[in-house]
Amino acid sequence: MNKNVIALAISTAFALPAMADVAVGPLAIYGTAATAFESVSISSATAIVDQSKITQNRLMDQTSKLGFKASHDLGKGLKGLVQVESRLYLGNTGNNTQNSAELGSRNTFAGISSTDFGTVRMGRYDNAYKLHTKTGSKFAYDNVNDASGEFGKDGQIMGRLTGRDADSINYESPKLSGFTFWASYNLGKDSDNGVKAGATSGAASAATSTPAATVMPQSSAALAYANGPFTVSAGYTTISNAAWELGASSSRSAKWNAASGAGFGLSGTTLAAQYTMGEFAIGAVGEVIRSNLTGASAATNFDQSQTAYAFIGAYKTGPHEAHIRYAQAAEVSGVKGTSSTFTGTEGKQLSLMYAYAFNDMVKLVTSLTTLANGTNASFTPGSGFSMTKGASLDQFAIGLSASF
């Protein structure tokens, strides 16, 4: 069933700078408050009983947060680090978790940093598979408007194995001759923010916001290189005890199967690059996700992969910044049982974005996005609107960002 979704998002954001100005001794306080009004209209060839899926107005939070952090000088090039960053919700899209923000739900950790040996963080933190893209292709990751983003773990076309892992150990190297290395290991005991799941019975089970009965650790490693106008990075991640049937779900769905002798494979590989030429920059990101299930049954075993890529052109001069962005996920390839055809599992997204800075503290942001899903795909932009298979989306967004 094909659906057309027209989303009008008018967003107003008020933000503190990312690295806070408010400091008391070693303690710094920072945060962002951002929200958007969205008007959504859906048309369908068949009758829809749920009226909320025909038209919907909602106040959409745009990743509001409040954080506290401190750095303690330990001497000899060492620093002790602590950070507690929490999600805030200015608006509610119908997700019950938005009624109460959890303390420490974003990057929250204790760590130690050495000028010679790098930084170790323990707690909740972005995995290495996510972090490297920020260096390899900055404009690809930092889009003008989050509501139109094509990167993310919640059904976006790119970066579906990225995560803010809740029980992880992370390492970041010092920058050496232009190279930076990241490694992260998630112990897989908490399914809330990563690609984890757990079965409480003999059946396969999808990820939930509860501790995993079956531990599914995630390991990630990445390397980036920066040399003047050129940056490039590569990342790899693998999740144990989990398989994702890519042909059945566009949104990540890591599952465990209790069949005796079942084998699992789930991994992702990304490559990102950017070249800056004065006021212009071009960037690209490619990603391949692979997964397989063996030893279950002839009908349910599968071995599948999906390739996605994004291209970004950016122009920034004076108060003006403009992006043109295109992302596409190809059809799933591979097999499930005796089938090797996964028609309609592709998705495409095109965005035009513009920002005008009135001064250092206030800027206007606007974007126009169109997303088209294949008949068996349900990708969604950063706005996170729930998409059924075959749905298409057109979105206009305009907002104001003010820092203080």
Percent of the chain with pLDDT over 90: 39
Domain that holds residue 151: 3-403
In this model, does residue 117 exceed pLDDT 60? yes
Pairwise pLDDT comparison (105 vs 257), residue with the higher score: 105
Q: What is the pLDDT of residue 101?
A: 60
Q: Which residues contact 278 (CB under 8 A, 6 or more apart)?
A: none
In this model, does residue 25 exceed pLDDT 60? yes
| Domains of the chain: total | 1
Write the burial class of residue 307 (CB in 10 Å: 0-12 exposed, 13-18 middle, 19+ buried).
middle
Q: What is the pLDDT of residue 22?
A: 61
Q: What is the pLDDT of residue 53?
A: 53
pTM for this predicted structure: 0.83
- What beta strand segments (E) does 64-158 contain? 64-75, 78-88, 108-114, 118-126
Among 42-51, 247-256, 348-357, 392-401, top mean pLDDT goes to 348-357
How confident is residue 68, by pLDDT bands cut at 50, 70 and 90?
A: very high
Q: Give the CATH number for residue 136.
A: 2.40.160.10
In this model, does residue 231 exceed pLDDT 50? yes
Segment (H or E) for 184: strand 179-186
In this model, does residue 402 exceed pLDDT 70? no
Pairwise pLDDT comparison (391 vs 23), residue with the higher score: 391
Q: What is the pLDDT of residue 347?
A: 94
Segment (H or E) for 136: helix 128-136
